Every structure is written in structure tokens, then in C-alpha cells.
Chain A
Amino acid sequence: MSPQDKVSRREFLTKTSLAASTAVAGAATGQVGAQEAEEYVQSDYSVRAKALVAVLTKKNLINPAEIDEVIEFYETKVGPHIGARLVARSWVDPEFRERLLSDANAAATELGIERRRDLAAVANTPQVHNLVVCTLCSCYPWAILGLPPTWYKDAPYRARAVIDPRGVLKEFGTELDEGVEVRVWDSTAEVRYVVIPERPQGTDGMTDGQLQDLVTRDSMIGVEKLKSLV
């Protein structure tokens, strides 16, 4: 018998999630093994997610082929390698950098990058460090970074990035000089922010392609600086 069968139909939607969290709470007190509780939670969501897709498909509200296309696109096509193209180009082409910082939408279009949302780029310098967060939900530049990591979407990072950015950065292993100004960008509206990290030392003479490989996702969120190669 699946866990939902014990639950009255009327309260199904609330109870399934609450039952899952109860199982996790049980794990904390030793009543249920942690792994068992985790498997319970995942199987519960799995049952509901499959039911959702089945119902939408049966009612012709979605095209199942589109489900596969969406998953493939976000698993294999879009990711931080796209943002890295903007960053690397900005390091080798000062005029592109100016265009990127004044109109990131046009700069992205210039590199053939497709997007649905508006973009803004903010640059780190020796005096300024930028950090991006969405305290209200999970706004993130999908088009150039892919889907956000779990920590970006969960409450702890969102809660602390605005009130204790230096503490968060330290936990990510990023130490800033006391004199550096931290700018936190809370993506509360329609614009998606990307940080342009500083070009690491020891990269003179590297090609645009080699530079792209150095640019990390976390450096474009602003939680880390790129390491010097010297």
C-alpha cells in the first residue's frame, strides 16, 4: 500500500508533503533510518510527479515529446559554458566589455546567445566584489548559466547573502580584503544578473577558448573568485 492510501482524499495535497517531513523528523530522533526516510520522501514525490505527467498527457494538456525535449535541453545544452563566453570575450576585448556592462542583452545577442529574459552584467574589480541572490524565490540567468544549484534556491543562502555577504563568501572559501566594497544584487524583478569575475593572473596570451575553460559557475554568481595561475 502506498503512503497516500492512508490519507483522505480531501487532504491529500497537504498530507503527502507533511507525511514526508514527519518521516524526516523521525529520522532525526532515530525512529526511522535516515536513508529510509530519504527514500520515502523521494518515492512520494516520484509517485506524484509521474501522476502529474500522466494526467496532463491523458488530457492532452502537454505533449510528452516536449517533456523529453525540455529535460534534454536543460541537462545537455544550456549551462555555465555559455556565460563563460561572455566573460572570456570581455577579458580579451575591452570594447565588448563596455558593451556588456552597459547593455548585456545586446552583448549576448552579438555572441548569438538566445535568451527569454533580460540580462545585466556587473563586473568585479580589485575594489568591488559583486554577489547575486534571489531572496524571494530563485531568479537566475538560466540562459547563460543553466539551472541554479540547490544551494542557490534554498533558504539558507537566500537568507544570509543580503545580511551577511562576507560571512557567506568566507564559507565558500572567498576571502576579501577589508577595503573591498561588497555589492549584493537581489534579483527581485525581471532582470537576471551575472557577475563578470576578474581575469586571473597568469593568463596573458591565452586564447578566448582557453579562457572560457577557466570561468566557473560560482564565479559568475559571485560566491568565488577565480584562482591565479601563478
Chain B
Amino acid sequence: MNGMNDVGGMDGFTLPVRDPDEPPFKYEWEALVFAASQAFHGPWPVDKRRFYVEIMPPDLYLSTPYFGRWLWRFEKLLIEDGLATEEELRNPDGPMSPAADFQPFVREAVDQAIPPKFRVGDDVLVKNEHPTGHTRVPRYARGRRGTIYLDHGVYDLPDAVAHGLDPKPQHCYAVVFEASELWGARANPRDKIYVDLWDDYLLAGS
């Protein structure tokens, strides 16, 4: 979906003051949210968890700190899947209902023998698609022309995994774009942007 997370190329943000001695977790709650996400071996693949940040309303996304977004999606997924209720999350000292049954998500090995659609050096055109579900094509690359730079091998297509659809294992490539293809006259013509993209996102193009 065209969510607030897809910020590549936006103007108007100011880089924050950087703390060179920043610890991994600045506040205890950040450590708790992170660790709970790691320690809960739940039914959600990472692609689905990413999607549940992407669906945050844009104003809420921008006003919520990083681990606050993790907390928001964790609460939402628990409630949606019947693993906890809003009342329980609001009042953890109260009575608890049993959690619904679930199968922990386990990433299956993919078949590396699946043939690639493209070879290194091939010119490609990124499809100009705007799916309402999860996708990993940044908006700035849609409809743009690039060249296959590297073949990373076969990985499951996240668009399918995120929504529990039949797996679509396929090749994923580093596609190189001239900066001027993406940003026009504003770009330094020497610069290049590399974006990792799956077969399904690409058309042959020259």
C-alpha cells in the first residue's frame, strides 16, 4: 500500500541531532517491546509485521517513535488474532482469557533451482503498480528504468507471504538506477541508486 513508511525522496524533513553514545535502547520500554517481539514466536511472518506498521495512519506514524510503532502493531495483531483483548492490554492485573490457538510461523527453505527471468546486465522496467497490500517496491522506483546489477538468488515474494497467500519464490536482484532516472535534473549525474527487487516487480525493458 502507499503507506507513510515509504518516505524515500520526500523533502522537508530535518536530520535530527545525533547522539554518538546512543545505547541500543534509550528507555526500558523500548527494550521490553523489542525483546517481547523477539521472544514471542508468533504466527506472523516479518512481512506481515511490516505491513502492520505500513497501515498506520500517516499522522500517527510520523508522531510515534520507532519502538512505539512496534508496540502499536504488536497490540493490533494480538487483538486481531484473538491472542489478547484490548481490556487485557489495558488492565493486565485483571482476568485473562485463554489465547486462541495458532501455529508459529516458520520460514521454509525455498527452491534455489527456480530459474531467473533476468540476467545480470539486462535492462528492466519496474512495473507501475500500487497494490493495496504489502509490497517492497518503493514509490520512487515505480515506472523507472534500471539494469540488473546482481542476482541475489531465490526468496519468497513478500507480497504473498505478508497476506498468507500461496508462496511465490522467485529471484530477487539488485537493480541499479541512474540517479537522474529517478530524480531528474536535481540528481548528480554520477550517482546511482540500487534497489533490491523481485521478478514479479519487473518487466523487460530497453
Contacts and interface: CB of A to CB of B under 8 A. Distances in A.
Interface of A: 4, 9-10, 12-14, 17-18, 20-21, 24, 41-42, 45-46, 48-56, 58-59, 61-63, 66-68, 70-71, 74-75, 118, 120, 133, 135-138, 146-147, 149-151, 153-163, 165-166, 168, 171, 179-191
A189 B172 contact: yes
Count chain A CB atoms within 10 A of each CB in B23, B87, B155, B190 and give the residue with the most. Answer: B190
Contact of A118 (B38, B67, B99, B152): B152
A182 B75 contact: no
Interface string B51-92: 001000001101111111001101110110001101111111
B16 to A, nearest CB: 6
B96 A55 contact: yes
A17 B75 contact: no
Interface in B139-164: 140, 150, 152, 155, 158
Per CB-CB distance, the 7 closest pairs between chain A and chain B, nearest first, are A135-B8, A189-B196, A21-B63, A156-B13, A49-B29, A54-B92, A70-B35
A74 B193 CA distance: 31
B76 A13 contact: yes
A46 B28 contact: yes
A56 B29 contact: no
A188 B89 contact: no
A102 B72 CA distance: 39
**Count class of interface residues, chain B:** 35 or more
- Decide if the interface of chain A is mainly helix, strand, loop or mixed: helix
B99 to A, nearest CB: 5
B40 A155 contact: no
B71 A48 contact: yes
B22 A150 contact: yes
Interface of B: 5-11, 13-16, 18-19, 22-36, 38-40, 42, 50, 53, 59-60, 62-68, 71-72, 74-76, 78-79, 83-84, 86-93, 96, 98-99, 136-138, 140, 150, 152, 155, 158, 172, 174, 179, 182-183, 186-188, 190-198
A157 B15 contact: yes
A79 to B, nearest CB: 8
A130 to B, nearest CB: 9
B86 A10 contact: yes
B13, B86, B136, B193 — most chain A CB neighbours (10 Å): B193
Q: Which of A46, A157, A158 has the most CB of B within 10 A?
A: A158
Nearest to A187: B196
Q: Which of A14, A55, A159 has the most CB of B within 10 A?
A: A55
A171 B136 contact: no
Contact of B24 (A14, A74, A135, A166): A74
